[in-house]
Structure 1
Amino acid sequence: MSAEETESKPRTYGNWMKPEEKGILPGLGPLGTGIIFMVCIVLVLLVIKTEWIAAACVTLAGVMLLWLVTHRDQHGKSAADKIIVRVGWWRSRRKKENVWRAGTLGYGRPGSVMLPGILGQVELAEGTDATGVPFGVLFCPRQDTYTVVVNSSPSGEDLVDRDQIDRWVAMWGVFKADMADEQGLQHFGVTIETRPENPLQLKQEVDRLRGPREEEDEFSMSVLQEIVRTYPRGSTDVQAYLFFTFSADRGKRKGVSTKKKRLQEFLQEFGPRLPYLVQKVQETGAGACHPMSAQELCRYVRIAYDSQAKDLFEEADALGQDVTMDWSQCGPMAAEASWDSYRHDGDVSVTWELTQAPRGAVQSSILRRFLSPQANLSSKRVTWLFRPVPPEKTGDLVDSDVITAQYQMTLNKSKPTARAMRRMRAATQTAEEEANGAGLENFSAFCTATIAKDADLHDATAAVESLAATARLRLRKVYGSQDSAFAACLPLGLDTRRYTVIPAEVSEKL
């Protein structure tokens, strides 16, 4: 038996499909098809009444509407979507909504440095879990949700056997499937953040571990000093955060909505469940995990809006000074959103959204280069948002995907396209796996690159887009909403579907 036959092939993953609701006409959903049929009925009535001018106007309006909805670019954005974004951007600039000023002369309370935009109404509280560990809770009134953030320290895949990596991936899949059964969970996500390492951190760790002065060896100390001086060059800090967002809605009883959960009720219900949730996260290879306290969340958000504040916090830690912050002091002093970038304090950020997942099969290391640190960035943040589908709805959803795939195959019976055939195979396999007990979820992603204000923005954005291409991801800048996208990329549990002009449920059916 040859060596090639004895070696096991690497595992591959794939079959991601973008949810689509097809109408009778190609390129239209059920709602769009209904609108076109209504236009046709009105047109027939006008022709019967010989109202030729009105019929011509209705025909022209119907053709324009059909073109606006069905004409899409490579990212799946229709012409109507782009017009709505342009109008919204013009309106926000006209009302100065893209500009934020804090402090004494700012928009918020006198002396406060509140968070701008969609984070302005978010409130922060703190509770304790069953083991007495404090954890912060973010309440978003717009979404009626509570969010808990867990900080993890993944060790990476260097010097790790392939079998162990496959086991971690499998456990991550099991974890995501279990999240569909988590009571009240609306969505959850993972944020991977990389930034240049501060040399002061290594010096602090060495000074903390040093023994008494009289027991120090001269040669050993010279080696430690050389390490402190040379090792931080080019090193990076990699942090991972997991956030879980729970709905404050209790559901409905006999068709009547019940009262919302109050903060104390949520803390009493979720506190005993948090240690078990953290343990499940650790089994996926996330390393040591702990829920972030209110002070840790304040520090994280402050550093996100002003990267230079990180050095100040670390210097205070080195001097043994305890820095206490209030949630109303975590925002930027000044921020301004442009069409394709966002400037906040001394930094400039650009945020992309995921428009297409990798096609075909990929290996578990597909995101390695994309998530790797970049020397020309102050920080890079990649957030994956997962919305589990309830188990009682997965069967109907996969059956609908199979019907949609079959419909695309029948559009051209003589010679179906390769894309339609691939979608049919993927839908069939997904239905089989769901029947065997697998879970189902929708996901999206954001990527934010932050640079200093005097750095080259074009080179930084080009580097991020090239790395995304190596991961077979298609990214698109969030034009006209860079400030909201920046906030959504933070691990704070925000869902951009709740902040659109046209509800997502309606736009998907067009």
Structure 2
Amino acid sequence: MSALSYYVALISWRRARRHGVTTYRRLLLPQPYALDLPGVGAASTLIKVADPTSGTAVGVVHGRDTDLMSVTTLLAPGGSLMAPTSTVRGAVRTWGDVLAGMSTDEQIKGASVTVQITPGAGEALADDVKKRVDPSAPQLAKSTITELVGTTPRATASVAAWMTVTVDPNATVNPPTDLADKVGEALRVVDSLDLSGTGTDVHRRCTDVDVRRLVRSAYDPSVFHEHPDRFVDLSWGECGPVAADDGWTAFAHDGAVSVSYVLQEMPRRVIPYSVLLPLLSPGRFQRRITLSYKVLDPEQGEAVLEREISNAENRADATAQVKGRAKYSQKADFERANKAAAAAAQGAQVVDWTLTATATATRPEDLDAARQDLERAVKATRGIRLRPAYGAQGPAFATGLPVGYNPLVS
């Protein structure tokens, strides 16, 4: 981000704050806005539909301003650290095939994969171990596992993963005319995606209760462990916060405060598949990591790569004219752009993507500690560079939630 862009964003944000746009109060707003979510989720609405294939309810989020549909799937990711390297590479290739399949479907506008890690106090681990202890086990083994459970409560965490696919049901030869047909078309498109072999298992499509629970527990982490029946009667507007303040470097919502970082630069070296492990490891605070994707069609991808080649060559030539030679980093950029163009010419797909990380503290005084905890995890990745989402904490917070918002989809 250049200094000019930074100060333009700062001035725009201050103007918005002066007009009260960055402040949300649900109970004080007149109807019908009292029933809307804040910020980027204001134009969304939740629709409960019956899936004819499974007979269960499915929650579909409809964007009233864009007419896009978002369907969320609960995932059960498998561990890869102890898996053979060949298995992991095969899963990565399969995921690449899934993204390539998205590029050939004009109705799929984007997708995002979110992993949410909520630290536990140890009760879940203790209850699970208590059920698994064999009464006939040696006393030494039972005492060891009891001591382990009692001394490492912070090592436990609840991990939830989901994938949200944004679909344009109207991008077809015969676009549906009513809302019911649009929802059915969106479900048909999402059902065509096959995630088998990608290293994760599909748990189920998110029901309307699942969507309400994910959104409500993000704005109010104190209800994360509540029974699902508590969210059945919530309206879509009630899933959001009662009050929220979108600050320059933090987002306050109900009784919690969050800080979000966005991708600035990936490492210039080859990275291992475990590069995100520090970000996905349990910490002191709830953390949500989101990978957002937008797969470009072959023509768009070719144009992007040609533009990258031209830009890299122009930068190297400009530096060479001033200093006598181009920088090694500029030469490396040019070589990488050429390699990417060669791969695209052989059938590879070009993907526009970004990474968003959010840490949430349940007490305002813990905000600095949550920010430090997140920054340490980012540094532990050894190469991935993230920066605070200046003036966009609210949208960055909502990126990982199933509210129909994808920063790469206009």
Instruction: Give the RMSD, CA atoms, in angstroms.
Output: 3.2
Identity %: 24
Secondary structure, aligned partner of 1:381: strand
C-alpha change, 1:466 and 1:437, in structure 2 (3 Å) is same
1:391 and 2:298 are equivalent in the alignment: yes
1:241 aligned partner: 162
Task: Give 1:354 deviation, angstroms.
Answer: 0.9
Contact 2:243 2:253 in 1 (8 A): yes
Deviations, residues 213-262 of structure 1 (Å, cap 9, x unaligned): xxx99668x969959974982201112111111125437x9xxxx97864
Matching residue within 338, 361, 366 for 2:247: 338
Contact 1:143 1:498 in 2 (8 A): no
Matching residue within 27, 52, 71 for 1:148: 71
1:310 and 2:252 are equivalent in the alignment: no
Matching residue within 13, 25, 47 for 1:101: 25
Q: Match for 1:83: what amino acid? A: Y
1:123 and 2:123 are equivalent in the alignment: no
1:461 aligned partner: 371
Q: TM-score, normalised by structure 2?
A: 0.86
C-alpha change, 1:108 and 1:291, in structure 2 (3 Å) is farther
1:192 and 2:108 are equivalent in the alignment: no
How many residue pairs match? The answer is: 400
1:446 and 2:353 are equivalent in the alignment: no
Structure number with higher strand proportion? 2
C-alpha change, 1:476 and 1:287, in structure 2 (3 Å) is same
C-alpha change, 1:419 and 1:183, in structure 2 (3 Å) is same
Secondary structure, aligned partner of 2:311: helix
C-alpha change, 1:205 and 1:369, in structure 2 (3 Å) is closer
1:421 and 2:331 are equivalent in the alignment: yes
Task: Give 1:114 deviation, angstroms.
Answer: 4.2
Cα distance in 2 for residues equivalent to 1:481 and 1:132 = 40
Q: Match for 1:115: what amino acid? A: L
Gaps of 5+ in 2: none
Secondary structure, aligned partner of 2:29: coil
Contact 1:129 1:275 in 2 (8 A): no
Q: TM-score, normalised by structure 1?
A: 0.70
Cα distance in 2 for residues equivalent to 1:186 and 1:79 = 32
Cα distance in 1 for residues equivalent to 2:147 and 2:169 = 51
Q: Match for 1:89: what amino acid? A: W
Cα distance in 1 for residues equivalent to 2:185 and 2:25 = 38
Moved more, 405-414 or 165-174: 405-414
Which structure's CA Rg is the greater one? 1
Secondary structure, aligned partner of 2:199: helix
C-alpha change, 1:261 and 1:156, in structure 2 (3 Å) is farther
1:327 and 2:240 are equivalent in the alignment: no
1:160 and 2:83 are equivalent in the alignment: yes
Cα distance in 2 for residues equivalent to 1:422 and 1:81 = 26
Deviations, residues 415-459 of structure 1 (Å, cap 9, x unaligned): 221122111111111111111111111111211110121543223
Cα distance in 2 for residues equivalent to 1:111 and 1:80 = 35
Deviations, residues 362-402 of structure 1 (Å, cap 9, x unaligned): 11111111221212x1x101111111101233233323322
Q: How does 1:360-399 map onto structure 2 within 5 Å? A: 360-375=269-284, 377=285, 379-399=286-306
Secondary structure, aligned partner of 2:115: strand
1:488 and 2:404 are equivalent in the alignment: no
Cα distance in 2 for residues equivalent to 1:136 and 1:198 = 31
Contact 1:85 1:480 in 2 (8 A): yes
